[in-house]
Every structure is written in structure tokens, then in C-alpha cells.
Amino acid sequence: MSGKILVPADLQEICILFEDSSCEHRGYLDLKTGEIIQIFDDIMDTEEKQELDDKVDEGSGERYIAIPNAESYEGYQDMEDFIETVKDVKHKEKLYNSISRKGAFRRFKDVLNSYPKERERWFKFKDEKVMERVNEWLEEEGIEIIPQKFIEIREVSFREISESTEIEESWKGFGARGCLKCDSEDGFKERYFVISRCPDGEEEEHWLDETMKKRYGVKHYGIIAGIFNDSRGPINSAVCGKCGSHDIFFDL
């Protein structure tokens, strides 16, 4: 790809943090896992806060990147821009008045409360503005967010798989049989996952590859479609206990 840092994260969550301009609240994006770390200066106890601060400091600029907060002038600009789009003259005037004095944000919201449709439109308008800024920021930082939510991945235990009544019996004996590197036939460390649906097309397969690597450290895995009675798929992965290779041969 383009040399961008691919991060499997929740864009919506980044937007929420981005929009939050309170200074007691800081957010960091973990570029490795896509996890979002939030530090609440007021609510958290000192120890917990210190621990997170240390973690973030240590990987600052490499693994962790601070999610910027919206500037208050941007928020003000958004209100002005929105008012420009209001068609009803009377309503428009009321909104203009509301932001011309101190406490503009609160007054603006108060006025909108009596116009439910416009209020709805404002939220959408605002979300789009925030999304634009988040995308600009990501672009500057060279980060590309891989949408996280389109396939859910859950790690499960072997027990959960073997006791499941939803999985075809024949699959339950499926597992690691041989290491393709050192020929070892046992001592594999196996892990199991269930994905909410099998990937469809190259892009999704690529996403799954990246996500399995980044989130779980799994470099090779196998999916067997058609085990469940819907589009879910189980994933097997294994590491050779002898040589540490991820290149494992699976069979029934």
C-alpha cells in the first residue's frame, strides 16, 4: 500500500474524543492494536492514571499518538456555518442572536431544542464536520483507519468449540497436525476464534489478515466456511511448540 500506518480502530470513537474539548479528558490511539486509551484526570485514581501516563509516555510518538481536541473556535465556526444553511428566516435570526453573546454554545443548543427537525440536522451537520477534521488529522499523521466493525472477531476456548451444539461434529476434530518447518507432529499451541461472518473479497481478507496480526499476533490461520449454519466462520491458528513457526498444517 501507500506506506501508511494501517490501524484497525473505531473511527466513531476517535470522532467522539476529537470533539470533546474538555481538558480533563485525554485520548490516545494505540497504533499497533487500534485500542483507544482514555485518561480522565479528575475521575481516575492517581495510581491508575500514572500507569496509563507512563505507558503512553514510553511509546509516545511511536506506538501512541495523542488524539487532538477540537478548538473552541472550530465549534463556533460550525454553529455559524450551520446557521447559514437554515432556511426559516425567523429561526435563523434567533440562532444568530443566540451565538452573539456569552455562553453561545449553551444558548445555541437551547434555541435548537425548540426545533426538533433542525436539531436533528445540526447533529448530522456537526458529525460531518468532525469527521472531516479527523480525516485531515489522520492524513497528516499518515494513518489509515481500517474499519473495525465490519467483521467481529472473538477468541474462544477449545472447550467452547468442542461443546458448541452449533458447530458440525466433523469439524471438532480439526486441528494442527504438523509443523511445515521442523516436521514436529505435536506440541502445538492452538488458538481458536469465531468471526461474525467470513470475509468477502480481497479487501476484507486483507483487513482480516492485518487485524489478526495486529490484535492477536496471529500470522497464519485457517478459516473453514460452512461449519455454522450461517455465515460465521471458525478460525484456527497454531504455533509450533518446538521451533516457534506459525507455518502449520491443519487436518481432520
Site for Zn ion, rule CB under 5 A: 179, 181-182, 184, 240, 242-243, 245
* Matching residue, cell 497528516: 140
Minimum gap (Å) between residue 187 Cβ and Zn ion: 9
Beta strands, E only, the chain: 5-9, 25-30, 36-40, 64-67, 143-147, 153-156, 175-179, 188-195, 222-223, 233-240, 248-251
Which C-beta is closer to Zn ion: that of 134 or that of 179?
179
Minimum gap (Å) between residue 24 Cβ and Zn ion: 51
Minimum gap (Å) between residue 29 Cβ and Zn ion: 36
Which C-beta is closer to Zn ion: that of 112 or that of 179?
179
C-beta of residue 190 within 8 angstroms of C-beta of residue 234: no
Which C-beta is closer to Zn ion: that of 152 or that of 183?
183
Which C-beta is closer to Zn ion: that of 92 or that of 246?
246
Minimum gap (Å) between residue 246 Cβ and Zn ion: 9
Minimum gap (Å) between residue 235 Cβ and Zn ion: 20
* Matching residue, cell 453561545: 104
Which C-beta is closer to Zn ion: that of 49 or that of 242?
242
Which C-beta is closer to Zn ion: that of 74 or that of 247?
247
Closest by CA to 236, choosing from 252, 12, 44, 119, is 252
Burial bucket for residue 111 (CB in 10 Å: 0-12, 13-18, 19+): middle
Which string of b and e fits 194-219 if b means at least 16 CB within 10 Å?
bbeebbeeeeeeebbeebbbbbbebe
Burial bucket for residue 35 (CB in 10 Å: 0-12, 13-18, 19+): middle
Minimum gap (Å) between residue 243 Cβ and Zn ion: 3
Which C-beta is closer to Zn ion: that of 235 or that of 248?
248
3-state percent breakdown (helix, strand, coil) of the chain, nearest 5 = 45, 25, 35
C-beta of residue 122 within 8 angstroms of C-beta of residue 85: no
* Continuous H helices in 86-200: 89-98, 104-113, 116-141, 158-163
Minimum gap (Å) between residue 250 Cβ and Zn ion: 14
